[in-house]
């Protein structure tokens, strides 16, 4: 029998497991539904990006591969703007018209405070905030800065990146104060608050863009899941998926991970996410290409036909990612930016 017919027959058999089968041959599915990002994988992602109104990439930080994938897709899929994991203020400084910042300002909140204070030199609260941060920003200052921000009163404001600068300062300090005040390892409240800011800013940009614009969204892996992620957070990705459904549109979610290499994020460092998640080990062992695209949708369908108590630990991990994302890209080795 020709090879293509064999693969087709196997695919059908795998998607409809025999009655009583308790362990779908997931590894065979992974072999069939994987593609080389340099060729067929890119074609698959371009096709889905053209069909969707919201295309989401859960990427890495400090690598060349994430921006390279964005650049490779952007020119051919006709999206109006890109929602990025940075503050609107930071996005406005890029001087790139299609980027919309949709996050708090994590790196340099003191610079936003200084910009706001320069426009309001007689405002005592803002001048006190500048004085507190004259040596730079420290998270331990966030509760005091937030208390001062509540006393600012009427001021001259601006909208860098399309969002009120005052609002960006306050939202950032709310998240940072939550982080500063958290006890032990409880990060849930701060994560929920930050994700809420992302949704608020994303929706503001979406409404300002007019009638149902096509949007590409690029954030880190944690933020573009469907559903509730392992932190216990309903993510920006979940919000976008529901927004798409409400608008009669489609969202397509892709996540990237590194099975080796280096990134340049707060310094040069090794990265191998197979150590972080057993599912990444399974995917990396099955990947045939330097950059392998796995279509998770057939795997999702198969695993959901099996009772949860009959799934192996490996299958449960794979189902989590298949429910969260439509496709996953395994890079055998990533390279750091600036190198």
Would you write out the chain's pLDDT as a tens digit for each of its 339 residues?
343 333 333 343 334 343 233 344 788 899 999 999 999 999 999 999 999 999 999 999 999 999 999 999 998 899 999 999 999 999 999 999 999 999 999 999 999 999 999 999 999 999 999 999 999 999 999 999 999 999 999 999 999 999 999 999 999 999 999 999 876 556 799 999 999 999 999 999 999 999 889 999 999 999 999 999 999 999 999 999 999 999 999 999 999 999 999 999 989 999 999 999 999 999 999 999 999 999 999 999 999 998 888 888 889 999 999 999 999 999 999 999 987
In a domain? residue 89: no
Say yes or no: 161 and 43 in one domain. Answer: no
Are residues 43 and 22 part of one domain?
A: yes
Burial string for 153-177 (b: 16+ CB within 10 Å, else e) reads: eeeeeeebbbbbbbbbbbbbbbbbb
Main-chain phi, psi angles of 311, to 5 degrees: -85, 140
Phi, psi (5° rounding) for residue 254? Answer: -125, 135
Last residue of a domain, one of 191, 213, 235: 213
**In 3D, which of 318, 285, 278 has the Cα closest to residue 300?**
318
Alpha-carbon gap, residue 324 to 224, rounded angstroms = 8
3-class secondary-structure state, position 100? strand
Give the domain range for residue 271: 1-79+215-339
CA 306/CA 313 separation, integer angstroms: 13
- Structure tokens, 271: 């990265």
One domain for residues 205 and 107: yes
One domain for residues 208 and 111? yes
Q: How many domains does the chain have?
A: 2
CATH code of 296's domain: 3.40.1660
d(C-alpha 216, C-alpha 52), whole Å: 10
Instruction: Tell me, yes or no, whether 95 lies in a domain.
Output: no
Same domain, 44 and 71: yes
45 C-beta neighbours (distance < 10 Å), count: 25
Are 222 and 149 in a shared domain?
no
- Helical ranges in 56-141 per DSSP H: 65-77, 88-94, 109-118, 124-132
Alpha helices, H only, 209-276: 236-246
């Amino acid at each position: 029998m020709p090879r293509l017919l064999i693969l087709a027959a196997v695919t059908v058999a795998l998607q409809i497991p025999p009655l009583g089968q308790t362990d779908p041959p997931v590894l065979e599915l992974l072999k069939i539904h994987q593609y080389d990002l340099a060729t067929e994988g890119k074609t698959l992602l371009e096709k889905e990006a053209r069909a969707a109104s919201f295309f989401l990439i859960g990427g890495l930080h400090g690598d060349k591969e994430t921006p390279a994938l964005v650049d490779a897709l952007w020119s051919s899929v006709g999206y109006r703007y890109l929602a990025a994991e940075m503050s609107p203020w930071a996005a406005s400084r890029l001087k790139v018209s299609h980027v919309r910042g949709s996050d708090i300002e994590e790196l340099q909140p003191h610079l936003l405070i200084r910009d706001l204070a320069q426009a309001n030199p007689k405002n005592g609260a803002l001048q006190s905030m500048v004085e507190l941060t004259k040596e730079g920003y420290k998270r331990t200052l966030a509760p005091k800065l937030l208390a001062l921000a509540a006393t600012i009163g009427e001021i001259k404001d601006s909208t860098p990146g399309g969002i009120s600068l005052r609002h960006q300062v306050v939202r950032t300090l709310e998240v940072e104060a939550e982080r500063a005040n958290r006890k032990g390892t409880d990060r849930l409240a701060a994560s929920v608050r930050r994700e809420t800011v992302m949704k608020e800013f994303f929706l503001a940009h979406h409404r300002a863009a007019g009638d149902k614009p096509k949007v590409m969204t690029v954030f880190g892996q944690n933020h573009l899941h469907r559903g509730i992620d392992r932190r216990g957070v309903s993510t920006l990705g979940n919000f976008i998926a529901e927004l798409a459904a409400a608008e009669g549109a489609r969202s397509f979610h892709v996540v990237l991970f590194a099975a080796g290499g280096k990134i340049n994020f707060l310094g040069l460092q090794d990265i191998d996410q197979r150590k972080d998640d057993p599912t990444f080990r399974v995917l990396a062992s099955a990947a045939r290409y330097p950059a392998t695209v796995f279509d998770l949708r057939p795997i999702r369908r198969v695993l959901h036909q099996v009772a949860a108590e009959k799934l192996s630990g490996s299958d449960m991990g794979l189902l989590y990612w298949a429910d969260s994302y439509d496709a996953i890209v395994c890079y055998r080795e990533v390279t750091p930016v600036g190198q």
